[in-house]
Chain A
Amino acid sequence: KAGVTQTPRYLIKTRGQQVTLSCSPISGHRSVSWYQQTPGQGLQFLFEYFSETQRNKGNFPGRFSGRQFSNSRSEMNVSTLELGDSALYLCASSPPGTGRDEQFFGPGTRLTVL
């Protein structure tokens, strides 16, 4: 079974631009969660989507948004990029159900904002 894939793997943007990151979960998984990892703030939960609905949201500004498609693929969008948005963005998928199941992480997208 193919693992979680994230595209692109690396991205360089300038302040004020917007960016869209993509995550394809493991086949059959319906939950996709997004995390931001930075040296200063560590790993922080952004949001979770389950069956195309946002099920939970972390404490991030409205510039961060996401969506999930009917095939469970998910995208996250960051508008009006700031230098502080430079981070590794990880997504994780899990089978139907709750966090009692293992979450499988993708390799991440490294976003650099100049």
Chain B
Amino acid sequence: DAKTTQPPSMDCAEGRAANLPCNHSTISGNEYVYWYRQIHSQGPQYIIHGLKNNETNEMASLIITEDRKSSTLILPHATLRDTAVYYCIVRPSGNTPLVFGKGTRLSVIA
């Protein structure tokens, strides 16, 4: 079973920041938080991951709370092409497979 809780859907205006929340209250000390997204009819795409510290790359920022029980993925300037299902996944540092929940369907509106 997925160890994360996400809202089923969100809307965001084009050009605005999209803030996608994820709750992972049972996360363990060695578990990372990963974010993927899936655009219709394509395979999921890796976005970003982190353990404790906030992370930023060319696609997004990941903010992890100090107690690590929740996180937020931030797309700073959402475009129509960011419309997708976004998955938040908690995974130990070893070789365990990814376990997907239902994700958040983000709709970016012009």
Partners in one complex: no
